[in-house]
Amino acid sequence: MVLLGALAFVVALLVSVMLHEAGHFLTARRYGMKATQFFVGFGPTLWSRTRGETEYGVKAIPAGGFVKIVGMTPLEEVAPGDEDRAFYKQPAGRRAVVLAAGSTMHFLIAVVLVFGVTFAVGVVDEQAPVLAAPQACVLETLPAQGQPAPACGAAGTTAAPAQAAGLQKGDRVLSVGGTRTPTWESVVEQIRSSAGQPVPLVLERDGAQTTVTVTPVPVQRPSMKDPKTTETVGAIGAGRTLVTERLGPVAAAGESVDRLGLIIKGTWISLTEKLGTITKLYSDERDPQGLVGAYGAGRVSGEILAADALPWSIRISDFLLLMAGLNLFVGIFNLLPLLPLDGGHLAVLGYEQARDRLRRLRGYRGPLQRVDLTRLLPLTYAVVVVFIGATLFILGADIVNPISLTGS
């Protein structure tokens, strides 16, 4: 299942790349520019077909994609008859739209995914007092970190009262010992304080209420007030399961805005504060919320879809929200004012237009003087080298010191 989840990540990533390039392609065609190639992937061509003036195809290395628009820069040769359709000959506004269209597609993907998940699945009620499937036994004490837990029936284990009392997955706990329990935290508090005492539980099961009596067994657990100390508390061997609350279109739209705000905030943190954690990627101090590459994100995606303890609806929604966050990150990153990113080309375009306006205010009436891109080539190559180096550095960390949702 982990491999299937990783494959789903690769497919979703390629779809995002295709839509990114489609943004450039469709806007260029809309303004009459000539696009001669539209490919997914790099390297040797696996398949292609020419329709009209454009060759569409798939290449062997699924690491991106590209659209070939005639005359992207004045440095390129343009075939006779295509001069008026060359990219660099178009008005600045049209060029800006084409350049920004790739990132715009990523932003649209993120918005559609977040709203779709929020409306179709709803929001997770993390404090809902709903039971997971009862465990077979309860550990009298928790094993030391890194040590395996004893098997049920071995010394240090006790048969789980929840299973003996007939508790079922999906039971909603309405009250414990006569005390209402609207949240999971309140259920835990009542169970922990009732060690060795028979306690009635009022449950909602299949739309009807039922009452069962369960006797929490005394166990040693970290104190909720001071986790460094242990205390004797009650346990029944039943955890919680996550449930979702469906929302209407208006409420879903509001929740989507909140979620997008959190994703944007996380993206900003990744582009600023988290950059400093790159020196710890290979150490035990690696930030689990820090930098991760495509390989690491694929691994996390696989673990999300393989989390058997969660309902499929939550697993799929978590996966889609991860893809929404990735698309938002890529969209923002692509707009950074660095060549060869689209943001670098936009920065050059903006500089040209601002310089031209200042010159015309001073009386200049000649043609637009373009930036000499050959002077920027060393900087462009340096950026590419840094990007490749960082990508390989993070890839190595994802392989030898991976971030894992399961902690292993």
By three-state DSSP, how is residue 214 classified? strand
Q: Cβ(218)–Cβ(233) under 8 Å?
A: yes
Measured distance CA(208)–CA(303) in Å, rounded: 35
Q: Which two tokens stand for residue 311?
A: 């309902």
- 255 as an active site residue: the answer is no
Largest CA distance in the chain: 93
* Phi, psi (deg, nearest 5) at residue 196: 75, 0
Q: Cβ(204)–Cβ(189) under 8 Å?
A: no
Measured distance CA(20)–CA(181) in Å, rounded: 49
Sequence letter at residue 290 = G
* Active-site residue, from 21, 55, 140, 273: 21
Measured distance CA(30)–CA(32) in Å, rounded: 6
* Phi, psi (deg, nearest 5) at residue 330: -60, -40
Question: What distance lies between CA 288 and its chain's CA centroid?
Answer: 14
Q: Is 114 buried (19+), middle (13-18) or exposed (0-12) by CB count in 10 A?
A: buried
Sequence letter at residue 225 = K
Q: Cβ(303)–Cβ(150) under 8 Å?
A: no
Measured distance CA(53)–CA(63) in Å, rounded: 25
Give the list of residues 6+ apart from residue 317 with CB closer than 8 angstroms, or none: 117, 121, 244
> Hey, which residues are catalytic here?
21
